[in-house]
Amino acid sequence: MSEKEAVRARAPRAKITAPAVIEMKRRGEPIVVVTAYDHPTAVIADEAGVEILLVGDSVGTVLLGYESTLPVTMEDILHHTRAVARAKPAALVVADMPFMSYQVSVEQAVLNAGRLVQEGGADAIKLEGGDRVAPAVRRIVEIGIPVMGHLGLTPQSVLAFGGYKVQARGEADQERLAREARLLEECGCFALVLEGIPARLGQTVTRGLRVPTIGIGAGVQCDGQVLVSHDLLGLFLGRQPKFVRRYAELADGMREAYARFVADVKARRFPGDAESY
């Protein structure tokens, strides 16, 4: 059976929940996460067996043409989360909280997390940071919204980092990150994204937690892995980080398809009889 046939033959999956994701770590089953910003991507990735669809604020750089994730708004994330949620995937839908939607106060963070669930249809939310977001995480979890944390190379801090650089290379920073990971677990996070950190640290943090770590440039020992869909599909035209593996070259396929359409229209080969009434 080909991989395509195997995907189509797969039995419908039960809805994946935040507790089910924790249970996957307990069973030692790797967790697969990709970004999704639109309905067809959500349907296709869900059919392929992805466990978590992340409506990342990377939508800003990947789809909207921004140079960073900082300009992304609540309205942007709501718009894309609705499109993904309408696919009714078995995968857990996690909506990213954009810059300035949770930093000002705990109250604002709770209200915005609530909007992503109530208006967007998200099953969970994600936010970046450790100590400084702990009170907000605690409160959001208390009201019943599952929270995914995010430590390491957190893109919303790109200005403070002075660029997209691997984080926590020194001993003090490593100790701080490991402590913040434990704090986020204690505050109730059901999973943590670890981005752009040494693989050895990814392994240490993973071993020290009950909840799963999802790595992106954090080594193979994390409990799961996440990639931006457009990166893995070869559809992103910007800078490609070292941690990306491309599983397709869709940009090449698109270029070729557009060029053939242009040639057919110019030569009056399209539409043919079959495409005409």
Look at residue 212 and give its three-state secondary structure.
coil
Gyration radius of the chain's alpha carbons: 20
Segment interacting with ligand KIV, rule: CB under 6 A, options 50-58, 78-86, 104-112, 131-139 = 50-58
Q: Is 35 in the site for ligand KIV (CB under 6 A)?
A: yes
Q: Is 52 in the site for ligand KIV (CB under 6 A)?
A: no
Q: Which residues, 6 or more positions from 132, have their beta carbon under 8 angstroms from its beta carbon?
A: 103
Q: Is 57 in the site for ligand KIV (CB under 6 A)?
A: yes
Give Cα 107 to chain centroid, integer Å: 25
Least distance (Å) from ligand KIV to the CB of residue 184?
15
266 has which bridge partners?
Answer: none
Q: Which is nearer to ligand KIV, 12 or 65 (CB)?
A: 65
Residues 96-125, mask of contacts with ligand KIV (x by CB under 6 A): x-----------------------------
Q: How far apart are CA 51 and CA 54, in angstroms?
A: 10
Q: What H or E segment, with its residue span, contains residue 222?
A: none
Residues with a catalytic annotation lie at 195
Segment interacting with ligand KIV, rule: CB under 6 A, options 12-20, 49-57, 79-87, 113-121 = 49-57
In 146-216, DSSP assigns E strands to 147-152, 191-195, 213-216
Question: Which residues in this chain contact ligand KIV in the complex, by CB under 6 A?
Answer: 35, 54, 56-58, 96, 193, 195, 216, 226, 228
